[in-house]
Structure 1
Amino acid sequence: MSGRDASIETIQRELTAFARRARHKASQLHPELSLVMYSMLDLLTERGGCRAADLAAYFMLDKSTVSRQVRDLEQLGYAAREVDPEDHRGQILRPTEAGLALLREANEMRRAAFTERFADWSDQDMAKLAEYLVRYGESE
């Protein structure tokens, strides 16, 4: 196996492990909140609200999957629908105060976990990892 192929194998394995750990951590934050639901709530907060179709497109999910996740977020009291002011036939999903509070708490917990995990990394190594993650994310 070439060096590049070995690197791809390692990257694939490590990103898969990273995703599994992220799902596990999400379940620790709130037992009823999946990583997908948490990610949707985070995007709603980042964008100040959006349509369900926007969530489906962003996360590359089927609309029925998004519909179920959004319904669960609403039932838990973390998201609410509002009439779209630009198109009164449509609805905008927004995080509720409870949803925002949950995200703040989750972000504090995640930040503490990352701070601990990277405690022995240099600032330069942290900057490189951040740069590589952004580059990887932009390459799609």
Structure 2
Amino acid sequence: MPSRDVTIDTIQRELTAFARRARTRAAQLHPQLSLVTYSMLDHMVESGGCRATDLAAHFMLDKSTVSRQTAALERLGLIVRDADPGDHRGQILRPSEQGLRLLQEAYEQRQASYEDRLTDWADDDLERLAGYLRRYNAAD
């Protein structure tokens, strides 16, 4: 049985490989977008639109980083800005129709990739992995 330190090192190495693969796939889908920008678009959909400060807080990023990322998304026509009905000084960011199409394409590619990688896994194994990932991410 490997020691706890060896096991944690293995987990770290495997999660790093997972993250690198995700970044590479994001770049293949649209070379001008990073995994972070896809995540921001996803969050905008999940939240029904949000302010840049909400993105910064959610992803624990600098406001300047979010500003650069959202400016890039806007230049590419992937987001729109609307006045915040609760504070007319602020803006709500939402994916444009083009942004929604890009997200759908990314979702379909991810889904196909997961289906391919996990095709031989038993349902119980998939449920355990999902539970472990939820537990791991809930620690934040």
Q: Runs (4+) of structure 1 moved beyond 4 Å?
A: none
Which residue in 1 is equivalent to 2:60?
60
Question: Taking every aligned residue pair, what percent have the same amino acid on both sides?
Answer: 64
Which residue in 2 is equivalent to 1:90?
90
Which residue in 2 is equivalent to 1:28?
28
Q: CA deviation at 1:5?
A: 1.0
Which residue in 2 is equivalent to 1:108?
108
Q: CA deviation at 1:4?
A: 1.2
Length, aligned pairs only: 139
Give the Cα–Cα distance (whole angstroms) in 2 for the partners of residues 72 and 137 of structure 1: 28
Give the Cα–Cα distance (whole angstroms) in 1 for the partners of residues 4 and 96 of structure 2: 46
| Long gaps (5+) in structure 1 | none
Deviations 1:76-133 (A, max 9, x none): 0111111000111111101111101110111011000000000111101000000110
TM-score (norm 1): 0.97
Q: CA deviation at 1:6?
A: 1.1
RMSD across aligned positions (CA): 0.8
| SS of residue matched to 1:91 | strand
Give the Cα–Cα distance (whole angstroms) in 2 for the partners of residues 21 and 65 of structure 1: 22
Which residue in 2 is equivalent to 1:121?
121
Which residue in 2 is equivalent to 1:137?
137
| SS of residue matched to 1:90 | strand
